Structure 1
C-alpha cells in the first residue's frame, strides 16, 4: 500500500531530481544558500586569501580538502540573501540541525541552560556536535543543556567578523577529538580587512512586537600582500525585544483551548457547558479554617488578585467540598505571564593584527569580547507545595512551631498566635495572628495561593573573553607548519527575583511581620525579605595550544602524496555552583528554582596525523587518526579513512568511515542531582488509579478529572556518576557529486552513525507504570510521590519525581540522506542563483541492552534528547536569487516536517498517537514559510535592503504536548510564530 507519507517523500525526491537539471555549483563539497546581490564598496575587502592556501574544516593539509567529506558552507553573503541577521539563527536553520537543538525561545521557558542556544546535528543532541572558532576549541557554556550536556553557546559568536561557517557533516574525532560524533560547526573569522564598513538595521513583526535592531562598524588598514600587514577593529550592538504570549493570536495566547476543541485550562475556568471545574489555585490567596472545609478569599473586600470572579452553583458546590461559596477567581496564566522569547541584548568588539614574517610565514593576533544578556519574567512565585528538585531533600515536610507545612501536603498553616520568637507562640508571649481570620476562634488556617509580591524575573549575563594567536608558514623549503594558541573565558551571572525563600516565608508567617491580607502595605524591606534577590555566578575556561606540520613526500600518478602530523594540549574547566542548594537544610532555599550545579576540570593531550594519496587521477585515498589522553583517566584512538573516485569528469563518488567518541560531560560525571520536567498525559494513567479522584474521572472522561491530574509534569531527577566511560561511535558516509556542466551541481550524501555506550538514564516509563499500577518499582529507580491534591487529600498522590542514575547503556543510531543542489545562470541581463539543501532522516533510534528498540523519527521522542520537541523526518530550504544590475531579489522556502504525537520513551508504541490529548488529532502538520529579501546598490559603496520574513504569515500547527513553548513546537517553528515580520537596513563600505 502507498501511504500519504511515502507519496510526499516521492514527490519531494522527484522535485529534487527535476531541480537538479537546472541547478549549478560553487564547490563540490559546498552545499549552502545562494549568494546575495553584489556587495557594495569594493574598497572594503574581507577575503580569506587564495583558495590554494586555505586549510578547510576537517583537514590539516595545505591546499584544502578535496571533498571527501560533505561540507556545508555559509557565507555572510548567504545569510544576507536569506534575511538572517545572526549566526545563531543561521546555524539553527541548517537542514542537518534536527530535533534536540536548544533555541533562545526554549530557554525562556525554564530550560536548564537559560540564555543560550545550541546546535544538534543529526538529532544526536547538543553534546555530539563540536563547535570551533577558526579551527580551535571554544569554552563550554557554564550551564548544561538538560542539566547534563556540555555545549558551546551560539549566542557568543561575534556576528560582525564572521567570514563563513563551515559545517562538516561527518564524524570528525580523528581531526578534533571528543564531541565531533555528529559533525563539526567551524566559525571562521575574517583574516584581513581594508577600509571602513558598517550596517544599521531594524525590524519588527507585523503585529507590532519583536522589535530588533543591529548596528556594526568595522575598520581596517594595511595591504597584507604589499605592505606586509593588516589590522582591523570591529564592534557591534544587537537587541531584540521580549515577545509574550499575549502578543500572539489565538490559540497561542490563552489557556482557554475551547477554540481548538480542547479544555478551558484557565485557572478555575468553565468548560464548554459552562460548568466550573475543580478548584485550582492562582495568584489570589485563599484560607480555610483548620484542615477541612471550604476555602474563602483571605481579603474578600479586595476581590481577585488577577482576573474575574465567578460564583459556583449548587451542583458545583455539592461536587467539591473545598470550593469557595463565592469569589472563585479565574486567571489566564499563559495570557498574563507567558513568554515566547526573552529580551536579548548583545554587544562586543574584536580586533586582529596579521603580518608577514619573512618571505614564508604569516602571524596573527586576535582578541574578542562579547556580552550577552537575556531576561524574561515568569509566573507569580509559588508559596505552597514542597520545594521540588532539591539536592538532599527532594521533598520534605517541616514543623516550625505552629507555622508549618502540613505533612505530606505542602499546604501552609497559619498559626493562631504569632510572636517574635517564631516558635511556641501563645497568648502569653504573642498576639493573635492578623493574617488568620479564624484566630479569634482559636483555629489555625490553611493558606494557599501564590506570592502577592509580583512575578518572578530571570536574567542571565554572559561575558566572553577570547584571545588567539598563531603563525603559519613554510620552512626547510617544503615543510608547511601551523602553530596556534587560544584562551577563552566565560563569566556567567544569573540574577533571579521574585522567588520565595522557604525559610523566610515560614519566618514571616510565624512572627506575623508580612501582611498577607493587604500586601500593598508591606514595606520594601519586608518584600525583599520574603523574596530576596538570588545571584549566582558561574564560569568556564578553555586554553589550547596546537601545532601541525605537513609535507609532500613524493608524487603519485594522481598528484602529490601529503603527510601531516600534529599535537594539541588543552585545558577545560567549568565552575557552576548550584543557584539553589539545600545543603543547609530543606528550607534554606527557594521554591521552584532548580538545584543543578557542577564543577570540574581536565587536561587533554592529543597527537594526530593525516595522509592524502591521489593514487591515480581517478582515485584518491585519505586516512587520519587521533589519540586523546585525559587527565581524568580516559583515553581514545579515533581513526578515519576516505576514498574519492572520479570515473568521469562529471561524476565524483566519495565515502568515509570513522570512529569517534564523546567524553562524559562535567555535569554527567560531577553534577548535583538535576531534575527536568516531562508533561504527564492522563492517557498514561490507569483507570483504577484515576477512580480515586471521582467516579467521573477516567481516560474516557478526562473532563471529569481534576486539573491536578490533567495538567502536570513529572520531575525526572538524574544522579551523576563519576565512573562513566566515553561514548563510542562508528560512522560512515557515501555520496555522489554530479556536475553535468560547470553551472550545475547536485550532491546526494548518505550518513549512518552508531553510538554505543550512550550515557543516559534508563527510560522512566516502567517506573511510572509500576507506581500507577501499585506494583513494585523496578530496581534502579526511586519514585517520590507529589504533594496530595488539595481537593482529594485522601487519594493516592500523583508522581512528583522519578530518580535514576546515569549509566553507559544504550546504542543510538542516526541514519539519513542529505540532498544539495546549486546553480548559477546568466539569463541576459539577469543572473539567477539557486540553491537547495534538504535532509531526510531515515532512522533515529535507541536499542537497549535487552534488545528492545525505541524509534523516534516522525514523533515527539526522544524526550531525553529533544525535550519533547520531536525528531523531524524532513527538513530543508531552497533559496533563489535574481540579480538585475544594481538590484537583487531573493526568496527562501523553508520546510520542516510534521510528526506524530507519540514517543516510545514515554511508553507509547511507535506512532500510536499515545501523547495526543484527543482534541487536536494525532499528527502535527509540517511547517512551511517563505522569506523575501530585496537589496539595492544605491551607489558603489552603499546598499539598502528589505526583508519580509514569513511573507505569507504562516503560523505553526497546534502542538499541545511539546513543553518548550505553548501549543507549538519552538524547534519546528523558530521565529515563524511571530507571523509576518519586516526588517530594513543599510550597509556601506569605503
Structure 2
C-alpha cells in the first residue's frame, strides 16, 4: 500500500467528524475502517458526521457505566438504565439517538453486531443490552449520527454507536474506582486489569486479556430529598402515595371511592378521586430507586501475522450481569368478596369499624378490596444475564486489495427468578385456606401461614443467538479521478438469529397473581445481504460516497437500500457535507409471532367523568396484544446537510440538519389513544359488566400490532470547540454540544392527523452540554454544565388539556453541574475524580406524569451530589 499517495489523495478533502484533519508523518498513518464505511482509509481522514470519544474523554464524564456515559451526550435520548423492577427487561439498558426509540439505533462492538438481549422492551422491541459492555475495556466510542442501513442493514435508522476495545496493546494497565452519593448509599466499586504481550509489527503477534468487575449497592428513595416521599404536592403535583400500601375497600368501586382499611394509626388523607388512604409512604420503606448490581467481564483478543500481508485474528468475550431488583409489595388488585366468602368480614368489631367509614349491610353487600401483601415477600426479581461473543477471522492484503473473512458467534442467556403469588390466593379468599388460616385483607399482621402456601419462586428463562459469516474486499485506490484515488468495497453477509423465551409453567398457565398468561416462543430467521460502496473524489474539493445494500429475510422478503453522501470544501477552512439514504427496521420475533399479555397504567377518564371524579388517577390495566405474521418492515428515507468551519487550528464549529421519515411503523395501538378515543377503535376496550346505562371498569384492552403508523422528525446538531493556549500557564479548552428537535410528528393510524410531539414531555425540544477544561503539565480540571429543555406540562400531543386545569402550563428547564480533575504524580500513575451534580440540583418534577415520580433530565441527578475517584496504574 502506497500510504503517502493515499494520504495526499484523501487529505485534499478529508475532515474528521469533530474537526479538520491535520498533516501527519507517513509513519504515523494507519489504514482503518471508520464507523459508517467499509473502506479502509487513513485514520485521521473521513467526512462522516462521527462523534469520537476517546478513553480520556470518557474518564472526564465521571460515568461508571456505558449508560451513564451516553446520558452525557446531547444526541442520545430515551435512556433506560435497567433499574426498574417493573420493566419488561429488568437489569438491561438501552438508548436511542435523535429523539427516536432505541430500536432505531444500531449498537456494535468493534464494528460487529452482537446478539440482542433475550427479552424484548415493551415485549416487542429487540435491542443490545448496554450493561453487557464494560466501560473499562472500551478504548473509544464512535457515534455516527446518520442513517446507515445501506452499510449495516436493519436498525441503523437514527444512527450507529460503535464501541471499540484496545488493539495491539503491550504492558499491564490496572484501574480501580470508588464512588458514592452524598447520602451514603449507591456505593460503587470497580477494578480491572488489561495485559498485552507481543508487538504485531515486531513480534508478529499480539495477545491481550482484560478482566473487570463492577459492583454497586442500592440507591434508596428515602435518602434523597426529591424522591423521599411520593407525596409530590410540594412540587405542585399530586399525592401519589399508594392505596395498596395499607389497603382499601369499597362496596362498589365503579361508583364509590375506596376507604382505607380500619385501624390506621395515622390521620387519613383524602385523594383527589375521593378515596381515603392511610398515608404510609412506600418510598420510606427501604424502596430502591437503583438496585444492587454486580457485573464481571472477560475479553481476550489475539492477532497473529501469517506473513507480511496476512493475519489471523480472534476475539473472545464473556460478561455476566447480576441485578437484584426490589419491586415493593405484591398486592390484591380489586378482589370482590361476596357474603359467605371465607375472607368476608364477620367479626363484629371489624364490621363496626367498617360501618363507621361507609354504611353497608353485612351479609348482603359485596366488598371489593385493594391491598398490599406487606406480611409476605416482596415483588422482587433476581436477574442474571450471561452474554458471550466469539469472532474468528482472516485478513490479507493482495495486489492492492484488502480481503477479510470472519465468522461471528454471539449469544445472550437470561434467568429471572421472581418472587410471585399464585392466583389461588384470591380463590382462597372465597373458599378458604385448606392448609392454614385464611388471609384477612382487612387487618395487618396476618400470620405467615396464611400466605406461604401461595408464594412461589417462578423462573423465566430466555436466550438469543447470532451466527454470522462475512466476506468482504476493499480497494483504497481503485482508479484515479481528478480529486484523487477512488475507493471501493463490496461484500456479502449471512447471519441467523434465534430467540427462545420460556416463561415459567405458572406464567404460561396464567396462574401468577396480577400477571397475564405468557406464551412460549421459539423463533428464528436467516438473512443474506450483499453490499457495495464507492468513494469518488470527483474533483479536488468534492468527494461523493455511493452505497447500496440488498437484504433478504426468509420470513418477510427483500429490501434494497441506497445511500449517497458528499463532502465539498470550497475553502480550506470550510466544508459542506450531506447525505440521502433509505433504510428499514425489520419486525421483531414477538411482533410477528407472539401473543402476549401485559399491564399498563391507564387513566379511564370516561369512567371518571361518569362518576363525576375531578382528579382521575391511573390504574393498572391488562393489555392484550397479538403477533401478526403479515407484518412488513418499517421503511424510511433520511436526509442530512451540514457545514463545518475551522478558520484556525484551535477553533472548530459544525452544524448538521437532519430529517427522517419513517413509514409503515409497527405499533400496538396506543392505550391512551384507545381510552381517550374509543370510537376510533371499536371493540378494543372490554369492560366489566355494569348496570344498564353505566360504564363498567376496564377488564382489558386489545392492542394488536400493525403496519399503520408514521413518524417524521427533523433537527439540528451543533458542535463548537476552542482551545486557548496560555503558554507556560497551561491551556483552556471550551466545548459546547447542542441538539435541537425542530419537529417530531407521528400518527398511529394512516387516517389519523399528524401530531407534533416536540415540546411535550416525551420530546423536549433541546439538550445542551458545555464543558470548560484547564490543563497544565500533568494536571487538568474541568466543569461541565448539562442543560435540559423545559416543556409543556403534558405527556404528549394527544394528552387531554383538562390535565392542565389549575396547574402550571410548562415544566421549566434546568442545568446541573459536574466537576472533574486528573493528575499524574508519577509517570505511570493517574489519579482522577470528581463530583456529579455538585450543586445537588433537584430536576423539575413533571406534574402530569402518569408514573409517580417523573422528573426531567438525567435519572442520576435524583441521587443528589455524587463523589467518585479513579486510580490508574500502568506497568
**Alpha-carbon separation, structure 2, partners of 1:442 and 1:831:** 83
2:116 paired with 1:231 = no
Counterpart for residue 540 of structure 1: 464
2:163 paired with 1:187 = yes
Counterpart for residue 22 of structure 2: none
**Alpha-carbon separation, structure 1, partners of 2:785 and 2:311:** 42
Q: Within 5 Å, give how 1:523-922 maps onto structure 2.
A: 527-551=451-475, 552-578=477-503, 584=509, 588-592=511-515, 595=518, 598-675=521-598, 677-680=600-603, 685=605, 690=608, 692-693=610-611, 697-698=613-614, 702=615, 709-712=616-619, 714-764=621-671, 767-769=674-676, 777-779=679-681, 781-785=683-687, 796-829=695-728, 830-847=730-747, 848-850=749-751, 852-860=753-761, 870-904=762-796, 906-908=798-800, 915-916=803-804, 918-919=806-807, 921-922=808-809
2:372 to 433, 446, 450: 450
Are the aligned partners of 2:655 and 2:716 in contact in 1 as well (CA < 8 Å)? yes
Q: Within 5 Å, give how 1:957-968 maps onto structure 2.
A: 957-963=844-850, 966-968=853-855
Does 255-264 or 629-638 show the bigger shift? 255-264
Counterpart for residue 153 of structure 1: 129
Are the aligned partners of 1:417 and 1:433 in contact in 2 as well (CA < 8 Å)? no
Are the aligned partners of 1:344 and 1:375 in contact in 2 as well (CA < 8 Å)? yes
Runs of 5+ in structure 2 lacking a partner?
1-13, 20-26, 352-361
After superposition, the Cα gap between the structure-2 partners of 1:973 and 1:160, relative to the gap in structure 1 and judged at 3 Å, is: closer
Q: CA deviation at 1:182?
A: 0.7
2:285 paired with 1:336 = yes
1:928 to 815, 835, 841: 815
After superposition, the Cα gap between the structure-2 partners of 1:355 and 1:487, relative to the gap in structure 1 and judged at 3 Å, is: same
Counterpart for residue 58 of structure 2: 79
**Alpha-carbon separation, structure 1, partners of 2:618 and 2:667:** 27
Counterpart for residue 868 of structure 2: 983
1:206-264 CA-partner distances (Å, limit 9, x unpaired): 122222111111111112211111111111111222222212214x2223233234444
Counterpart for residue 487 of structure 1: 409
Q: CA deviation at 1:434?
A: 10
1:483-537 CA-partner distances (Å, limit 9, x unpaired): 222111111011111x32102442476343245359867467x644212111111
Are the aligned partners of 2:244 and 2:331 in contact in 1 as well (CA < 8 Å)? no
Counterpart for residue 277 of structure 1: none
Counterpart for residue 207 of structure 1: 183
After superposition, the Cα gap between the structure-2 partners of 1:594 and 1:210, relative to the gap in structure 1 and judged at 3 Å, is: farther
3-state SS in 2 of match to 1:246: helix
Are the aligned partners of 1:611 and 1:624 in contact in 2 as well (CA < 8 Å)? yes
After superposition, the Cα gap between the structure-2 partners of 1:914 and 1:50, relative to the gap in structure 1 and judged at 3 Å, is: farther
Counterpart for residue 17 of structure 2: 30
Q: CA deviation at 1:165?
A: 1.0
**Alpha-carbon separation, structure 2, partners of 1:881 and 1:124:** 31
After superposition, the Cα gap between the structure-2 partners of 1:197 and 1:931, relative to the gap in structure 1 and judged at 3 Å, is: same
After superposition, the Cα gap between the structure-2 partners of 1:51 and 1:806, relative to the gap in structure 1 and judged at 3 Å, is: farther
3-state SS in 1 of match to 2:30: helix
After superposition, the Cα gap between the structure-2 partners of 1:623 and 1:945, relative to the gap in structure 1 and judged at 3 Å, is: same
Counterpart for residue 275 of structure 1: none
Counterpart for residue 948 of structure 1: 835
Runs of 5+ in structure 1 lacking a partner?
1-26, 33-48, 268-279, 386-409, 419-431, 703-708, 772-776, 861-869
After superposition, the Cα gap between the structure-2 partners of 1:86 and 1:256, relative to the gap in structure 1 and judged at 3 Å, is: closer
Larger relative contact order (Cα-Cα within 8 Å, sequence gap ≥ 6)? 1
Are the aligned partners of 1:737 and 1:746 in contact in 2 as well (CA < 8 Å)? yes
1:283 to 212, 221, 246: 246
CA RMSD of aligned residues (A): 3.4
1:837-864 CA-partner distances (Å, limit 9, x unpaired): 211111111155236111111102xxxx
3-state SS in 1 of match to 2:858: helix
**Alpha-carbon separation, structure 2, partners of 1:787 and 1:335:** 38
Q: Within 5 Å, give how 1:332-411 maps onto structure 2.
A: 332-336=281-285, 338-385=287-334, 410-411=335-336
Are the aligned partners of 2:664 and 2:710 in contact in 1 as well (CA < 8 Å)? yes
Are the aligned partners of 1:715 and 1:800 in contact in 2 as well (CA < 8 Å)? yes
**Alpha-carbon separation, structure 1, partners of 2:348 and 2:114:** 54
Q: CA deviation at 1:923?
A: 1.2
Are the aligned partners of 1:652 and 1:737 in contact in 2 as well (CA < 8 Å)? yes
3-state SS in 2 of match to 1:731: strand
Q: CA deviation at 1:762?
A: 4.0
After superposition, the Cα gap between the structure-2 partners of 1:115 and 1:414, relative to the gap in structure 1 and judged at 3 Å, is: farther
Are the aligned partners of 2:255 and 2:611 in contact in 1 as well (CA < 8 Å)? no
**Alpha-carbon separation, structure 2, partners of 1:960 and 1:292:** 26
Are the aligned partners of 1:732 and 1:751 in contact in 2 as well (CA < 8 Å)? yes
After superposition, the Cα gap between the structure-2 partners of 1:606 and 1:537, relative to the gap in structure 1 and judged at 3 Å, is: same
Structure (1/2) with the larger strand percentage = 2
Are the aligned partners of 2:499 and 2:521 in contact in 1 as well (CA < 8 Å)? yes
Are the aligned partners of 1:239 and 1:345 in contact in 2 as well (CA < 8 Å)? yes
**Alpha-carbon separation, structure 1, partners of 2:681 and 2:195:** 64
After superposition, the Cα gap between the structure-2 partners of 1:967 and 1:759, relative to the gap in structure 1 and judged at 3 Å, is: closer
Are the aligned partners of 1:310 and 1:329 in contact in 2 as well (CA < 8 Å)? yes
- Alignment coverage as a number of residue pairs: 833
Q: CA deviation at 1:436?
A: 12
**Alpha-carbon separation, structure 2, partners of 1:292 and 1:73:** 59
After superposition, the Cα gap between the structure-2 partners of 1:29 and 1:872, relative to the gap in structure 1 and judged at 3 Å, is: farther
Q: CA deviation at 1:163?
A: 1.2
After superposition, the Cα gap between the structure-2 partners of 1:828 and 1:382, relative to the gap in structure 1 and judged at 3 Å, is: same
Are the aligned partners of 2:412 and 2:463 in contact in 1 as well (CA < 8 Å)? yes
Counterpart for residue 392 of structure 1: none
Counterpart for residue 142 of structure 1: 118
Counterpart for residue 405 of structure 1: none
Are the aligned partners of 1:82 and 1:879 in contact in 2 as well (CA < 8 Å)? no
TM-score, normalization by structure 2: 0.88
**Alpha-carbon separation, structure 2, partners of 1:952 and 1:787:** 54
**Alpha-carbon separation, structure 2, partners of 1:816 and 1:663:** 25
Q: CA deviation at 1:115?
A: 1.3
3-state SS in 2 of match to 1:411: strand
After superposition, the Cα gap between the structure-2 partners of 1:88 and 1:288, relative to the gap in structure 1 and judged at 3 Å, is: closer
Q: CA deviation at 1:378?
A: 2.1
**Alpha-carbon separation, structure 2, partners of 1:112 and 1:759:** 19
2:510 paired with 1:510 = no
**Alpha-carbon separation, structure 1, partners of 2:479 and 2:260:** 88
After superposition, the Cα gap between the structure-2 partners of 1:858 and 1:627, relative to the gap in structure 1 and judged at 3 Å, is: same
Q: CA deviation at 1:714?
A: 5.0
After superposition, the Cα gap between the structure-2 partners of 1:226 and 1:147, relative to the gap in structure 1 and judged at 3 Å, is: same
